[in-house]
Chain A
Amino acid sequence: MIITSNVSKKFGKLKALDSVSVTCNRGECIALIGPNGSGKTTLAKTILGMVVPDSGFITFNGKNILHNWDYRKDIGYMPQIGRYPENMTIGQILDMMRDIRHTKGSQTDEELIETFGLNTMMQKRMRTLSGGTRQKVSASLAFMFNPSVLILDEPTAGLDPVASGILKKKIVAEKEKGKLIIITSHVLSELDDLVTQIIYMQEGRLKFHKSIQALHADTGETQLTRAIASIMIN
């Protein structure tokens, strides 16, 4: 569904991505992991077209995404740090996104807005929100338009255990529907029971892309955390 071929990106002298090639298919739940500054977020942003790669190309459903925009209809993106216009209220942001993205005849998915309790604070301005509440807004927006691909950048960072439980349940439910889910994270244990594939990155390079079973078999560890740790040490 999403194929990146030899994608490279430099920020000044820093090589953020160094010819990364990955293939992501429908129904997979992929964990994009790696140490801080390994290029996880940059990779997610290149898929979204927010960062334009220096070389290489990305296809989405067989179409090159360069200067294309309508493929983003099928993507729900939850950024690592949600940045929103500071003097708009939650309600206004949600209305604006509905206005921009909603297509006639389809139903928006407002489950998260209710379960996170955002409907009781629609009047709050974005600048008054805590980091966790912003994350809740980001998550609600990512799931709202029933996209077939979800790109979640550190989804549970900053959420309290209850909220992160709600989000995890939602991710499982969406996975069940056969959607492609890409999660970047370094809190590994959170993901243990969700993911089917692991992409491991280091210093902008793709170290490996394996299914979780293969990883368990290779390392002899049953827990994801330990399996990754043993790779990082070697």
Chain B
Amino acid sequence: MKKIVKYVIVDILRNKIVIAYTAFLLVMSLSVFNLEDNASKGLLSLLNVILLIVPLVSIVFSTIYMYNSSEFIELLVSQPLRRKTIWLSLFSGLTVALSLSFFIGAGIPILLYQPTGTGIMMLTAGILLSVIFVAIALLASVTTRDKAKGIGKVILLWLYFALLFDGLVLFLLFQFADYPLEKAMVGVSALNPVDLSRILILLQMDVSALMGYTGAIFRNFFGTQSGITIAFLVLVLWFVVPLWLSLRKFRSKDL
């Protein structure tokens, strides 16, 4: 498995996109921290960009990479290798490459300018989001044979996680404004890893006072040790489940 991971990482690094992504994150986070006189304000600006860019790049890049490696996969499948090994190697290669570029591009500036609990929470959330969206990309690419359709699917998925989901939640809140939905919102937030990360980071920032009564409920739940643990478990489930489903599909796929 180590051998294949090595080839995947070398191949991804030869592809200049990941390097451009790293450079972009680096330039952006450095400029955000230097523009604001207050580093924690900088972190807040960085948060919104990261929650949009990291999922987008992770999911689109991984999907295109999976389609472009169809030859590589075909070659490996006819060799004495477990299909599970091949699939997990591709997953590990992509996650290592993308998490590493997130770490270099955004993590190092965060650790330099804001080495607090909030900064570390943001760093962890960014890496987890990279892993989650790689896993979702793997699932989308194994279930769709057509490349254009597969890429379209993941862009729609990204739109859903990044924009549509919030719209749906707002719609529900307004429709059921007469009911006490605050507690249910905690459960609903688990349905979107991007939102869950946002809540986790915002609560660390002490701006939850701005979120009203729901914010207080969130504070009660996610502010505790067990709440944070549950939230992280949910985020882990968000990559384990798609990965497991995609592996199951790949094991019986015809090549």
Stretch at the interface among B77-85, B174-182, B183-191: B77-85
Stretch at the interface among B3-11, B23-31, B130-138: B3-11
* CB < 8 Å neighbour of B81 from A11, A52, A88, A100: A100
Q: How far is the CB of B44 from chain A (nearest CB, A)?
A: 41
Q: How far is the CA of A52 from the CA of B83 in the complex (A)?
A: 12
* CB < 8 Å neighbour of A79 from B70, B72, B78: B78
Tell me if A85 and B83 are in contact (CB < 8 A). no
Q: How large is the interface on A (under 10, 10 to 19, 20 to 34, 35 or more residues)?
A: 20 to 34
Q: A51-B254, A85-B72 are in contact. Are A72 and B79 (CB under 8 A)?
A: yes
Q: How far is the CA of A101 from the CA of B75 in the complex (A)?
A: 12
Q: How far is the CA of A67 from the CA of B83 in the complex (A)?
A: 8
Q: How far is the CA of A45 from the CA of B253 in the complex (A)?
A: 12
Q: A85-B11, A85-B72, A100-B3 are in contact. Are A49 and B80 (CB under 8 A)?
A: no
Q: How far is the CB of A126 from chain B (nearest CB, A)?
A: 9
Tell me if B77 and A50 are in contact (CB < 8 A). yes
* CB < 8 Å neighbour of B71 from A67, A86, A97: A86
* Residues in B49-78 with C-beta less than 8 Å from chain A: 69-72, 74-78
Q: How far is the CA of A72 from the CA of B82 in the complex (A)?
A: 10
* CB < 8 Å neighbour of B77 from A49, A70, A96, A97: A49
* CB < 8 Å neighbour of A72 from B74, B80, B252: B80
Nearest chain-A residue to B254 (Cβ)?
A: A51
Q: How large is the interface on B (under 10, 10 to 19, 20 to 34, 35 or more residues)?
A: 20 to 34
Tell me if A87 and B71 are in contact (CB < 8 A). no
Taking CB atoms, residues of chain A closer than 8 Å to B82 are 69
Nearest chain-B residue to A151 (Cβ)?
A: B78
* CB < 8 Å neighbour of A83 from B14, B74, B251: B74
Q: Does A48 contact B (CB under 8 A)?
A: yes
Q: How far is the CB of A33 from chain B (nearest CB, A)?
A: 22
Q: How far is the CA of A105 from the CA of B83 in the complex (A)?
A: 26
Tell me if A67 and B251 are in contact (CB < 8 A). yes
* Residues in A176-231 with C-beta less than 8 Å from chain B: none
Nearest chain-B residue to A87 (Cβ)?
A: B14
Tell me if A69 and B81 are in contact (CB < 8 A). yes
Nearest chain-A residue to B11 (Cβ)?
A: A85
* Residues in A53-79 with C-beta less than 8 Å from chain B: 67, 69-73, 77, 79
Q: Does A99 contact B (CB under 8 A)?
A: yes
Q: Does B255 contact A (CB under 8 A)?
A: yes
Nearest chain-A residue to B6 (Cβ)?
A: A99
11 A-B pairs (CB sep. < 8 Å): A50-B77, A50-B78, A50-B255, A52-B252, A69-B81, A72-B79, A72-B81, A77-B78, A83-B70, A83-B74, A84-B75
4 additional contacts, CB 8 Å, given A70-B80, A73-B80?
A: A11-B254, A50-B254, A52-B252, A99-B3
Q: Which residues of B contact A (CB under 8 A)?
A: 3-4, 7, 11, 14, 69-72, 74-83, 251-255
